[in-house]
Amino acid sequence: MTDFFFGDKDFENLAPPPRFFLPAIGRPVSTTPSHSVLEDISSFLKETKSVRLVRIVHQRALVSGLLTTYSFISSLCNDITVRYAALDAFVEAQNALEIHCPSSLFCWNVLISQNVRHGRLDDALLLCRRMRRFGTRPDHFTLPLVLKASGQLSSLRLGRSIHGVVCRDGFQSNVFVCNALIAMYDRCGSLQAAVYVFDEITSREIDDVVSWNSIVAAHVKAGQNNLALETFREMGHDMNRRPDVISLVNVLPACTSLGAVSKGKEIHGCALRIGLFSDVFVGNAIVDIYAKCGMMTDAVGVFNSMAVRDVVSWNAMVAGYSQNGNFAQAVSLFDEMRKEKIVLNVVTWTAVIAGYAQIDLGHDAINVFRQMQQSKTEPNVVTFISLLSACASVGAHRQGMELHGHALRRHLIIAGDDDMVTNGLIDMYSKCSDLITAGVLFNLVPVCNRSIVTWTVMIGGHAQHGDANSALELFSQMLSADSNICPNDFTVSCALIAASRLSALHFARQIHAYVIRHRSFTPMVFVSNSFIDTYAKCGDIGAAEKVFDLITRKNSVSWTSLMTCYGIHGRGEDALLVFEKMRKEKADLSPDGVTFLVLLYACNHSGMVNQGLEYFESMERDFGISPSVEHYACVVDLLGRAGRLQDAHELINRMPMKPTMIVWVALLGACKIHSNPGLAEFAAQRVSELDSENDGSCTLLSNIYANAGRWQDVARIRRHMKNSGVKKRPGCSWIEGKKKGGVSTFITFYVGDKSHPQTSQIYALLHDLMQRIGALGYTPEMNCALHDVDDEEKCSLLSEHSEKLALAFGLLTYPSGSIIRITKNLRVCEDCHSAFCFISKIADREIILRDPSRFHHFKQGLCSCGDYW
């Protein structure tokens, strides 16, 4: 460095001395800068790593009048802005340029280029406009730069106008400009325009390998993987445009998306032949295709043969194992990465978090996130989405809320089209049963920005954790909204969950009709299985069977769904036949834990104690499936219902795991049926230890005491419930009715409900019916009236049960001969059961009554559940 600027040899060791900024104090600039001095400055600026020194040179140039020389301006435009990308450097460069040499195309170009490089896209475009105002026309360097800027801004309008300039100024034959046009149209999502430019240059044979790579990449990005592969094949014919590393890296993901392993293998061979395999990018893409296509052995082979591996290679392997359902292997590879001291990046951490979320180990996912934070890796949008799904899977409301705060602070929630973080938040809040917050977030998203996933998570949230009616309402709203939103498999399944919870047969049929009408929507096995379940739960066994028969590729869920259908309708023998048929005809479909649960349930509700016990024994012995708590609860119920209370209790004592509430509730229920207050007290005690606010068990125990006439104990329980704030859920029943205009709706009746406009008619009919069936031999089951009152009052309390009110409404309003379907939120009592039998006979009606555990078909005085009630 010459004396001209610094003088001091050991300048680097000095603190910035004010004299360099104030010429009055510092050495005066006496020499006019010579050419060699400027060259020195230029090479200094290119080499120095110190932003501080660049800043000093910049300031020095300002005060010394050097800024007016062309040489320094070009250096300012380029070298200074490279190192020192502060706003003032850009502003001064532009000012100096406009004042002293506005006709220097070179200076404009380097300044625009620096602006683009530093992401100052709007400024770059503005500069281009300024240069034109000064009469300097953009050339084949300028145009690709501003095309890149408009591409990065995704501004098709701007890109098109630059395309106009390209044509007007005759740059269509410049391959750089054309390649930039292709890349711009690609980024703006207009494959068609990109292809147009590409076809034009190839027809004039001015294309090169970059053009081909760009157009292949554009096809891949637009999801046109087959066309991408075809284009790639075409380029192979000409030796002038032999595929390079970038060609391979572009085309391999197309094979991956298509699952075209053989094509991938071909490209793998090609890479080895032409010596491109050593490139770590190519190697990574090859590992990725094998891993994603489930060929982990091949992926391992490639991974091991790579001379250079980076964190991406490892990530591809971790993701491969995780996506192929071998999460244990993924985690062990993750541990190996840590042992090998690979610098983990956000993708690595996120892949592991997502893996845990997928297998519902949300707490492990959250722990990994804590470690990630300790390693100072910044989470991004993808990390948050995975974490939210982890919280949703385990109902971690508090952690979910924390994440919501994080996301807000990091500005990761972008108000725009299909904001996946918001979708994740809505889903998380829904699955944590916080439908209020979920609804607030959902309503904050403008309708035009709601994607199908946004709608689906909200519909699914209401269907599974909230009000099923709201779910169906949202589904209709979505279809009638002006947006071009089309339900997908997920949406339909969620709507069906809502329909099945309400037993909304009409709704299920409408959804089915919609699915059939929209030919573009081909129901896959997943949706068909949902239909089987929904029809079963709406009481239409025939429809469920029909859907089952029409599935071409039934999976084990299809078979299990049909078994459930028979199970809940008390057709245990049929459920068992389905199971045996599946074993015989579809040996490749293996039953799992749920299949056995359904099987045990079916045996349970059809009184097939011995068969049930046999299946319970065989599941571990013959199928290697260890029974879960749910299986035990089912067998406790099975034994209990059969009166084998002692056996049930002993089974609980033998359980390899700690019995949960459902097990004790099953025992408690059995104690009710077989009037065993002693054991019931014990079971109720266990339930209250596990969940002191369980209203069901309190009510059950109080009923048991009431049956035994132990009114003091009843009062004690009542007091306990009152003191501890446990509220008995009110029993209610609902039935489909018609609103004005024939739109179907649900009418809900509570015990003793008098809110319906037709109340007087309903009660009159009920009164009449009770008298008529009394004449036929019906006697009220006083046990079911749990109030310490006289018999006459008990009778009237019984006759006001919600299901009886719903039945009277049905008899009043349904056309004769139609089936009356009623759903109840709590278990149907014996008195209503008996009354329904009689009423079905005298009114000559088929009645289907559903409660949380089963269906009762009443016909001609008989019920499908027979003796096993």
Partner DNA sequence: GTAGGGTTAG
Binders of DNA among residues 224 to 283 (CB under 7 A) are 245-246, 249-250, 253, 279-282
Binding status of residue 458 toward DNA by CB under 7 A: no
Site for DNA in 618-657 (CB under 7 A): none
The answer to whether 429 touches 422, Cβ cutoff 8 Å, is no
- Least distance (Å) between residue 573 CB and DNA: 18
User: What is the total count of residues that contact DNA (CB under 7 A)?
Assistant: 82
Binding status of residue 702 toward DNA by CB under 7 A: no
* From 402-410, 587-595, 644-652, 674-682, span contacting DNA (CB under 7 A): 587-595
- Least distance (Å) between residue 367 CB and DNA: 17
What is the three-state SS of 399-431? HHHHHHHHHHHCCCCCCCCCCHHHHHHHHHHHH
Binding status of residue 113 toward DNA by CB under 7 A: no
CA angle 638, 641, 643 (to 5 degrees): 110
Binding status of residue 143 toward DNA by CB under 7 A: no
Q: Which of 150, 423, 437, 703 binds DNA (CB under 7 A)?
A: 423
Q: Which of 592, 630, 691, 800 binds DNA (CB under 7 A)?
A: 592
* From 190-198, 201-209, 454-462, 828-836, span contacting DNA (CB under 7 A): 454-462
Binding status of residue 50 toward DNA by CB under 7 A: no
Site for DNA in 728-787 (CB under 7 A): none
Binding status of residue 347 toward DNA by CB under 7 A: yes
Cβ neighbours around 203 below 10 Å, total: 9
Task: State the amino acid at position 443 in one-letter form.
Answer: N
Binding status of residue 21 toward DNA by CB under 7 A: no
Cβ within 8 Å of residue 772, ≥6 positions away? 842
Binding status of residue 557 toward DNA by CB under 7 A: yes
Binding status of residue 345 toward DNA by CB under 7 A: yes
Q: What does each C-alpha distance from 6 to 60, 68, 689 come to in angstroms?
A: 10, 20, 82
Q: Please name which of 60, 63, 56, 90 lies closest in space to residue 76, comparing C-alpha atoms.
A: 90
* From 10-18, 191-199, 482-490, 718-726, span contacting DNA (CB under 7 A): 482-490
Binding status of residue 457 toward DNA by CB under 7 A: yes
Tell me how far apart the alpha carbons of residues 517 and 400 are, in angstroms, rounded to a whole number. Answer: 40
- Least distance (Å) between residue 225 CB and DNA: 12
- Least distance (Å) between residue 114 CB and DNA: 19
Which residue, 261 or 282, has its beta carbon nearer to DNA?
A: 282
Residue 662: CA atoms inside 13 Å, Cβ hemisphere, count? Answer: 9
Cβ within 8 Å of residue 817, ≥6 positions away? none
* From 81-89, 349-357, 698-706, 845-853, span contacting DNA (CB under 7 A): 349-357
Give the single-character DSSP code of 80.
Answer: I
The answer to whether 440 touches 475, Cβ cutoff 8 Å, is no
- Least distance (Å) between residue 525 CB and DNA: 6
- Least distance (Å) between residue 344 CB and DNA: 9
Which residue, 253 or 780, has its beta carbon nearer to DNA?
A: 253
Cβ neighbours around 538 below 10 Å, total: 25
The alpha carbon torsion through 694, 696, 702, 703 (nearest 10 deg) reads -170
Which residue, 598 or 680, has its beta carbon nearer to DNA?
A: 598
Which residue, 289 or 635, has its beta carbon nearer to DNA?
A: 289
Q: Which of 82, 316, 435, 508 binds DNA (CB under 7 A)?
A: 316
Cβ neighbours around 682 below 10 Å, total: 15
Residue 446: CA atoms inside 13 Å, Cβ hemisphere, count? Answer: 6
Binding status of residue 333 toward DNA by CB under 7 A: no
Tell me how far apart the alpha carbons of residues 407 and 387 are, in angstroms, rounded to a whole number. Answer: 11
Place of tokens 């919280």: 391
Q: Please name which of 463, 392, 451 lies closest in space to residue 424, comparing C-alpha atoms.
A: 392
Cβ within 8 Å of residue 340, ≥6 positions away? none
C-alpha torsion sign, points 860, 863, 866, 869 = negative
Site for DNA in 174-193 (CB under 7 A): 183
Binding status of residue 572 toward DNA by CB under 7 A: no
745 phi and psi angles, rounded to 5 deg: -150, 170
The answer to whether 243 touches 236, Cβ cutoff 8 Å, is yes
- Least distance (Å) between residue 281 CB and DNA: 3
- Least distance (Å) between residue 627 CB and DNA: 15
Binding status of residue 454 toward DNA by CB under 7 A: yes
Q: Strand 847-850 to strand 820-824: parallel, antiparallel, or no bridges (unpaired)?
A: parallel
Binding status of residue 471 toward DNA by CB under 7 A: no
Site for DNA in 496-515 (CB under 7 A): 497
Q: Which of 48, 59, 224, 358 binds DNA (CB under 7 A)?
A: 358
Cβ neighbours around 818 below 10 Å, total: 10
Site for DNA in 363-402 (CB under 7 A): 380-383, 385-386, 388-389, 392
Which residue, 302 or 492, has its beta carbon nearer to DNA?
A: 492
Binding status of residue 337 toward DNA by CB under 7 A: no
